[in-house]
Amino acid sequence: MALPTALRAPAAAIAIAIAAAAALSACSAQAPADAPAAAEPGGEAAISDDRCALNRDAGTVTYLTGYQYQASASILEILAAEELGYFDALCIDLEIQPGTGDTGQNTQLVASDQVQFTSVSQQNLLQAQDTGIDIRGISSYSNVGLEVLMTGTDITDLTQLDGTILGHKGDLPPAVHAMLDNAGVDVGSLQQVVVGYDPSVLPRGQVQSLTGFISNEPNLLEAAGEEVTVWRPYDLDVPSSLGALTVNPAFAQDHPTVVEDFLRASFHAFEHCEDNGEECVGYAADLSGEGYDAAHNLKIWETEVGIIRDTQTGDLGAIDLDNVAAIATMLDDYALLETPLTPAEAQAFFLPDVVPAIYDGGELVWPAP
């Protein structure tokens, strides 16, 4: 078993400077040489008249963020794509709404077509389907989930946690539960307590382990000078997902070019923000207003991008159906579904052909064929 390592890196001050037009010209297009360049925000389309008409026929398209304007993958790059004019260039009239972090609410809004796209993990999508909420998965950046367990650096084997206090935010995340089981921990011996959102309870010794999100609490503790060990379920063969996006199924059927081009613009912005994180976090900060922690959000973005690139096995965003099957099996094994779900049934809730349609030879086609 490969043991996780402590995260150590100082937070940096943020400088927001690059103009949207310059950012557009800096992005490399992966389209034929005679293809038009991306439009300025509100400017002319960069695609054919026919495709533009198809996209405009959808009217205003709404994307609901997973949580506010946090600089997470599947949020920040979409905010940036809107600011950089990428959706305008593809004739998509996009409206962005900030989510509250309530996954159940997000999935219901997509299923009812009040919003067309949102950020929802593959696991949450399957759990939503189990309750009759019909949505479809269209992309996922990584099989590494955000949920992790943190311990002091003195813990070198998870079985050392037997009989100790574990803190969480209301429930033990299924992926963390599966990881503990896989490691041989007696989960029943753990005293589970709800501790809220202050991760300092771990270094203060109020709990011996603490659940959290890989790009959030570890970075907050690191910025405070605290060193912890981060245990990822992924490292103990527990399936999950990071940066997954979903769509209303009827909308996807009626407007396939919009679904393709929504991802096209988002992935084009991902590539831009990968090299221009401060600029893109600046867009989120402007939307959020006073109190937005730009330095911490930049660290969130950089952490998640690093994970995505380290674990990428194909085209950015491509759905791994084997991972979907593994998640379904895990949910069944831990009795987290009301109705048993076979891997094949789970896979049918995803649209794996959308991402391949926007790539050519491993390169994102921009602006569009």
Phi then psi for 5, rounded to 5 degrees?
A: -120, 160
- What is residue 298's three-state secondary structure? helix
Average pLDDT of every residue of the chain: 89
Measured in whole angstroms, the distance separating CA 206 from the mean position of its chain's CA atoms is 30
Q: Kindly list the structural domains of the chain, giving each domain's residue range(s) and its CATH number in brackets, ordered by start.
A: 36-143+241-364 (3.40.190.10), 147-236 (3.40.190.10)
Mind giving me the DSSP string for 228-246? -EEE-GGGGT----BS-EE
What tens digit of pLDDT does each residue of 4-49 get? 333 333 333 323 332 333 333 333 333 333 334 444 444 568 999 9
Residue written as token pair 């989930």: 145
Give the burial class of 364: count Cβ atoms within 10 A of its Cβ; 0-12 exposed, 13-18 middle, 19 or more buried: buried
Strand order of the sheet with strand 209-213? 191-194, 165-168, 209-213, 147-151, 229-231
333 vs 45, residue with greater confidence: 333
% pLDDT > 90, the chain? 85
Has residue 67 got a pLDDT over 90? yes
Mean pLDDT computed over 332-338:
92
DSSP structure string for 124-180: HHHHHHHTT---EEEE-SBSS-SEEEEE-TT--SGGGGTTSEEEESSS--HHHHHHH
**Around Cβ 355, how many Cβ atoms within 10 Å?**
22
Average pLDDT over residues 158-166: 98
Average pLDDT over residues 158-179: 95
Q: Residue range 160-167: average pLDDT?
A: 98
Q: Which helix (H) or strand (E) covers residue 62, if one does?
A: strand 60-64
Q: Tell whether the model's pLDDT for residue 143 goes beyond 60.
A: yes
For the segment 47-58, what is each residue's pLDDT rounded down to a tens digit?
999 999 999 999
Whether residue 160 has pLDDT greater than 70:
yes
pLDDT tens per residue, range 83-115: 999 999 999 999 999 999 899 999 999 999 999
Torsions phi, psi for 165 (to 5 deg)? -100, 125
**Model confidence pLDDT, tens digit, residues 345-363:** 999 999 999 999 999 999 9
pLDDT in tens, 185-234: 999 999 999 998 899 999 999 999 999 999 999 999 999 999 999 999 99
Please tell me the pTM assigned to this model: 0.86
What is the mean predicted confidence (pLDDT) over 150-158? 98
Q: Are 324 and 233 in contact (CB under 8 A)?
A: no
Residue 245 is predicted with a pLDDT of 98
Look at residues 267, 362, 327, 69 and name the one whose alpha carbon lies nearest to residue 259.
267
**Whole-number Cα distances in Å, 25 to 15, 38, 69, 233:** 20, 8, 25, 40
pLDDT at 44: 65
